[in-house]
Chain A
Amino acid sequence: MRLTAFRIRNFRSIVDTGWQSVSPDNITCLIGQNESGKTSVLEGLYVFHSGIITEDVLRSDLSLPEVSCRFAVKKGWLLEMAVNAGPELKELLSETDTLELTRYWLADFTSSVRVSGEVSEYLDSLEKAWKLYLDEIRSKIIDESNRLSGDEELLAKLSEKRRVLELSLREKGGKSLRRGLFGSKGSDAAEREVEIQHLKDELKDVSGQLEQLTIRRDSRADLITAVRAWNTLAGEYEEIEKQLNEVSFKLEERHQMMTLLLKPDDYDDKIWETIIDEYHRLRSERERLMGEIDRQTALCGFLMEGNSGEEAMVKVQEITGKYRSKYTEEMLGTACFEHTPVFTIFEDFGSLLPNRIDLEDIVATDSDIEGYKAARNFMKLARLDYSFFMQPSSRILKQTIENLNQRLTHNFHDFWQQSVGGKNKIKIQFELEHYSASHGDKSGKPYLEFWIKDEGERLYPKQRSRGVRWFLSFYLELQASALGGDKPIVLLVDEPGVSLHARAQEDVLKVFEDISDKIQIVYTTHSPHLVDINKLHRVLAVQRDDFENYRSATKIIDPVLLSAATPDTLTPIHSVMGNPFGAGFSDRKPNLIVSDTGSYYFLSAIMLLSGAELSFNIVPATSADSIPSLCNIMIGWGLKFNVLVFDNDEDNRAATFTGSTIFRENSDVAIRFQSPFHGVEDLFSTLDFKKHVVKTREGITVANSVYLNDKKLPRAFLASRLLSEINNGGLSANDFDEESHENFRMLIGRLKEIGKGD
């Protein structure tokens, strides 16, 4: 698995780097002024792997960082991470050869890794579809809930009315009886009878309505229960959201304080721990409730369609299976992350070789101990572990140590060219010692002591120059990383060799080249000696958006667009490049690189014949093989350029190389002509070519370029002669036939795109 690109958002000075590709040859160089944000880029990559951040990395708006990385994987590898995926997801994963992961942080600085990119878009689409489905039902539930409330109210009203009617009936009925018994006038009795009948009728009506309502309610008991449960869950969810917002606000306040280096008055570790625990709890609870509400919503939906309780439950299972993937972005992300390269950062404190280090500190990998990492690298390189030092025979131990010292020194000499004091070269040496009785608790405990010797003297690493110490430590780091386990490694190095002599810095580059087939390296530098001018496709320029304002956001510029970088940013390149403008290149117009002088003359002739006004400068390479070098020079000088490539072996080779290194995704830089155009001269019709270039009447049945090659004719001379005749007025556009002109127009059409889109 190989890192191919990264994107960092909201990290220190970085708002959004956008996707930046690392160099395909595994060595990527970040150049830029001080305070441009180069180190932030390295640290951003490192935290992708480690997951650990502090308030220091937060921007002033306290937005939380996100770091995304793309990795090249074998097609179908992702399937192994999701064996039980549904058919659609399986199909997607089987076709994907790029893994995109994003690490994101929460307010409590915990982080998760999720898949992003294509896979995440697919999972999002499922999620969206699920949400849309639920939203539809949700609005119906709210309507239903209102209806149910209405029914309940009506039920209550009707019940009350019935009670009142029954009471009235009883009263009126009693009075009537009494009046009947004790005599009453005939008309009063009739009136009362009418009233009583009226009440009875009304009672009957109300009772009927009540019965209907009750039947309806009973028939929808399941739905009513479900809707009530839904309302309850919704209420709980709202409450949890409210609490979570309050806790998040407290966390933000704390971040704010910490970024301003102000401890809150009530600062107490235990209180903050409680708040963070509460934050986790509330998040989990919210996740759980969200799931419950979704299921309950789906259930209500099916009940509203008339399904029974049991049927609805079954359908909920089915629909959940249809819309919800077994795998979430986080599940897949976590599974894939286990296989990603290890990102390791070379920094001074842990990585520089110490004078001595206790064995138990090496074993404990205590990062608070100075030089522990360098010591571990040393042990790894020497292929030693703690048990080695338990060797009972001191003679074997000493001899083994002596042999190791010689081996390590010999290997190191391959890379360290610089001599100390002329002829002598340094030697690496380590020794196993034990603390004497005067060291109290440590008495008798073993420690390793490191020496850097030459014929003159034996000195501790700290007694040597910083440059020597750095180089040696760096060498150990690289070599140990190269031995590393199964996982590939991305090594991040900030300003390698800043203390080294120029030649030693060049040795650092050699070291990078040596291990680049096993380790991907991303490093920052100011030094021109650490930039290979023949491989400027490795360079990413880092600068501030507003270069006069060091507080503005960091941006990254890729190699092909280096012309947009400031001169200060490009200093390391410019200082080795010299002045470009004496070589006929233009900084005002785009430059069009062609493979050789013959092509230059032919193309110039066509430009004149076609009368096209094109604003670019034609630059001939010495041959197609030198096109990549010329591209490097253009990049180094920050010049705009394109390359004109025809369908022949040399041009194709140059185009393939530059396409995979320099141009990468910028395929517009190369203007390619396919068969039957194998060279610029093939744009002329055969007849025009015969008449005006080679001046022959013999039949030509092959391409013009093939004819020149087969007959071993002096191409550059013939092309130059043609151009000269046109310039002198000996030939004009009217002397060329419609086939030539049609091809010229096609060429002009393609070349007109140069310079557009700037």
Chain B
Amino acid sequence: MMGEHLTEDLTETFTDDSHVTMKDYLASLRYAGMIQKSMLPLPALMTSLLREYFVSFMPRDFVSGDFYYVYRGRDFYCVAAGDCTGHGVPGSLLSIMGVSFLNEILQCQPSPRANRVLNLMREKVMSALHQTGVSGEQMDSIDMSLCIFTPGSYEMQFSGANRPLFIVRDGQLREIKADKMPIGPAPLVEEPFTNKIVSFDDDDMFYLFSDGFPDQFGGPLNKKFKYRQFRALLSEVAAYKPSRQKRVIELTFADWKGNHRQVDDVTVFGFKPKIII
């Protein structure tokens, strides 16, 4: 159950006679979760931009460090998924910041480049968190995969900060690799993100996802699900209708996890973009 581990974690915190009861705290977390959920894209917006889609959004706690995102500009639209460091409350704060920054950036750009959006995101995150890359400071960051589509075109832009893009066509999966650096301070020095132009077809299925699913421990030997299996899963379900894809993915996750704790927030965002909107 979402939050059960949280309850365990908090028990210790609330064993004393604190006037704030665990019940109150959990209630506020639930409410925070509702607020966070309200910041996620509305179904109406999703259907206006995406021919088909599903989102398996499974926060570890009441609030999530993952987010998924769509934005409609005048001559473009953007689809993204982000995974903020940590989970729970700290992660959710970062995810809210991430969504706000994306809105700010995209509202000012009539024709954005995907990599420049991530470059700008990084500046904003580092500025907001006062990060200068000095050792010892907090290295919070956001991993993100971001796609920009132009209506009428079968080419899209992709840029990723540690998060790739998977495209499945006729059961074959193609990976569009991301840059190995987060939206945040780099270990040594920040480099610009790269912009990739990707061609696609009408029936291609796109997947943006956090690493929660592949990194989930479970199965008979209590190992990570891993990317190889995850890729195979997506290749298999890509031909299904979105609703069935979501069901199969979530069931597969639940089966794999079994009684183990959910390690991280899980997001799998599958969609087919619209060419004409």
Contact A698 B131 (CB under 8 A): yes
Report A-chain residues with C-beta under 8 Å of the C-beta of B190: 687, 690, 697
A701 to B122, CA, bound (A): 9
A685 to B113, CA, bound (A): 13
Report A-chain residues with C-beta under 8 Å of the C-beta of B133: 697
Contact A700 B127 (CB under 8 A): yes
A696 to chain B, nearest CB (A): 7
Q: Verify if A392 is at the interface (C-beta below 8 Å from B).
A: no
Give per-residue flags for A667-706: 1 if the beta carbon is below 8 A from chain B beta carbons, else 0.
0000000000000000001110011000011111100000
In residues 107-137 of chain B, which contact A (Cβ within 8 Å)? 113, 116, 119-120, 122-133
B90 to chain A, nearest CB (A): 19
Contact B119 A697 (CB under 8 A): no
- Tell me whether A697 and B116 are in contact in the complex, defined as CB-CB below 8 angstroms, given that A685-B192, A687-B190 are known contacts: no
10 CB < 8 A contacts A-B: A685-B192, A687-B119, A687-B192, A698-B126, A698-B130, A699-B123, A699-B124, A699-B125, A699-B128, A739-B192
Report B-chain residues with C-beta under 8 Å of the C-beta of A701: 120, 123-124, 127
Contact B120 A691 (CB under 8 A): no
Report B-chain residues with C-beta under 8 Å of the C-beta of A690: 190
Question: Closest residue to A698 on the B side, CB-wise?
Answer: B132
User: Which 8 A-B pairs give the minimum distances between C-beta atoms?
Assistant: A699-B127, A699-B126, A697-B133, A737-B192, A699-B123, A698-B132, A701-B127, A697-B132
Contact B189 A699 (CB under 8 A): no
Q: Verify if A135 is at the interface (C-beta below 8 Å from B).
A: no
Give per-residue flags for A320-344: 1 if the beta carbon is below 8 A from chain B beta carbons, else 0.
0000000000000000000000000
Report A-chain residues with C-beta under 8 Å of the C-beta of B189: 691, 697
Report A-chain residues with C-beta under 8 Å of the C-beta of B88: none
A733 to B127, CA, bound (A): 27
In residues 160-218 of chain B, which contact A (Cβ within 8 Å)? 185, 189-192, 195
A701 to chain B, nearest CB (A): 5
- Tell me whether A697 and B185 are in contact in the complex, defined as CB-CB below 8 angstroms, given that A686-B119, A686-B123, A687-B119 are known contacts: yes
Question: Closest residue to A686 on the B side, CB-wise?
Answer: B123
Q: Verify if A218 is at the interface (C-beta below 8 Å from B).
A: no
Report B-chain residues with C-beta under 8 Å of the C-beta of A699: 122-129, 131
Question: Which residues of A approach B to under 8 Å, CB–CB?
Answer: 685-687, 690-691, 696-701, 737-739
A666 to chain B, nearest CB (A): 31
Question: Closest residue to B131 on the A side, CB-wise?
Answer: A699
Report B-chain residues with C-beta under 8 Å of the C-beta of A700: 123, 127
Question: Closest residue to A697 on the B side, CB-wise?
Answer: B133
Question: Closest residue to B125 on the A side, CB-wise?
Answer: A699
Question: Closest residue to B191 on the A side, CB-wise?
Answer: A687
A412 to B251, CA, bound (A): 102
Report A-chain residues with C-beta under 8 Å of the C-beta of B116: 739
Most chain B CB within 10 A, of A698, A738, A739, is at A698
A737 to B124, CA, bound (A): 19
Question: Closest residue to A691 on the B side, CB-wise?
Answer: B189
Report B-chain residues with C-beta under 8 Å of the C-beta of A685: 119, 192
Most chain B CB within 10 A, of A685, A687, A691, A738, is at A687
A698 to B116, CA, bound (A): 17
A700 to B122, CA, bound (A): 9
Report A-chain residues with C-beta under 8 Å of the C-beta of B128: 699
Report A-chain residues with C-beta under 8 Å of the C-beta of B130: 698
Contacts A697-B185, A739-B192 supplied; 9 other A-B pairs, CB < 8 Å: A686-B119, A697-B126, A697-B131, A697-B189, A698-B127, A698-B130, A699-B123, A699-B128, A700-B123
A455 to B48, CA, bound (A): 96
Report A-chain residues with C-beta under 8 Å of the C-beta of B185: 697
A322 to chain B, nearest CB (A): 46
Report A-chain residues with C-beta under 8 Å of the C-beta of B123: 686, 699-701
A699 to B119, CA, bound (A): 10
Question: Closest residue to A742 on the B side, CB-wise?
Answer: B113
A690 to B132, CA, bound (A): 11
Report B-chain residues with C-beta under 8 Å of the C-beta of A737: 192
A281 to B273, CA, bound (A): 84
Report A-chain residues with C-beta under 8 Å of the C-beta of B192: 685, 687, 737-739
Report B-chain residues with C-beta under 8 Å of the C-beta of A738: 192, 195
Question: Closest residue to A676 on the B side, CB-wise?
Answer: B108
Report B-chain residues with C-beta under 8 Å of the C-beta of A691: 189
In residues 29-57 of chain B, which contact A (Cβ within 8 Å)? none
A288 to B194, CA, bound (A): 81
Question: Closest residue to B104 on the A side, CB-wise?
Answer: A701
A690 to B123, CA, bound (A): 10
Report A-chain residues with C-beta under 8 Å of the C-beta of B126: 697-699
A28 to chain B, nearest CB (A): 45
Report B-chain residues with C-beta under 8 Å of the C-beta of A739: 113, 116, 119, 192
A508 to chain B, nearest CB (A): 56
Question: Closest residue to B129 on the A side, CB-wise?
Answer: A699
A234 to B133, CA, bound (A): 96
A691 to B123, CA, bound (A): 13
In residues 79-125 of chain B, which contact A (Cβ within 8 Å)? 113, 116, 119-120, 122-125
A319 to B190, CA, bound (A): 78
A691 to B190, CA, bound (A): 9
Report B-chain residues with C-beta under 8 Å of the C-beta of A687: 119, 190-192
Report A-chain residues with C-beta under 8 Å of the C-beta of B129: 699
Most chain B CB within 10 A, of A686, A698, A699, A739, is at A699
Report A-chain residues with C-beta under 8 Å of the C-beta of B195: 738
Report A-chain residues with C-beta under 8 Å of the C-beta of B119: 685-687, 739
B84 to chain A, nearest CB (A): 16
A185 to chain B, nearest CB (A): 108
B168 to chain A, nearest CB (A): 30
A220 to B132, CA, bound (A): 101
A713 to chain B, nearest CB (A): 16
A354 to chain B, nearest CB (A): 73
Contact B132 A696 (CB under 8 A): yes
Question: Closest residue to B113 on the A side, CB-wise?
Answer: A739
B139 to chain A, nearest CB (A): 12
Question: Closest residue to B195 on the A side, CB-wise?
Answer: A738
Report A-chain residues with C-beta under 8 Å of the C-beta of B131: 697-699
A103 to B123, CA, bound (A): 66
B134 to chain A, nearest CB (A): 8
Report A-chain residues with C-beta under 8 Å of the C-beta of B122: 699
Report A-chain residues with C-beta under 8 Å of the C-beta of B191: 687
A135 to chain B, nearest CB (A): 52
Report A-chain residues with C-beta under 8 Å of the C-beta of B132: 696-698
B80 to chain A, nearest CB (A): 19
B131 to chain A, nearest CB (A): 7
A686 to B126, CA, bound (A): 13
Question: Closest residue to A737 on the B side, CB-wise?
Answer: B192
Contact A686 B120 (CB under 8 A): yes
A738 to B132, CA, bound (A): 23
Question: Closest residue to B124 on the A side, CB-wise?
Answer: A701
A700 to B131, CA, bound (A): 11
A435 to B75, CA, bound (A): 92
Question: Closest residue to A688 on the B side, CB-wise?
Answer: B192
A739 to B191, CA, bound (A): 12
A687 to B133, CA, bound (A): 14
B54 to chain A, nearest CB (A): 35
B259 to chain A, nearest CB (A): 43
A691 to B189, CA, bound (A): 9
Most chain A CB within 10 A, of B185, B192, B195, is at B192
Report B-chain residues with C-beta under 8 Å of the C-beta of A697: 126, 131-133, 185, 189-190
A691 to B191, CA, bound (A): 10
B129 to chain A, nearest CB (A): 8
B182 to chain A, nearest CB (A): 13
A699 to B126, CA, bound (A): 5
A109 to B189, CA, bound (A): 84
B237 to chain A, nearest CB (A): 37
A686 to B125, CA, bound (A): 14
A690 to B120, CA, bound (A): 13
A685 to B189, CA, bound (A): 15
A731 to chain B, nearest CB (A): 14
A706 to chain B, nearest CB (A): 13
Report A-chain residues with C-beta under 8 Å of the C-beta of B127: 698-701
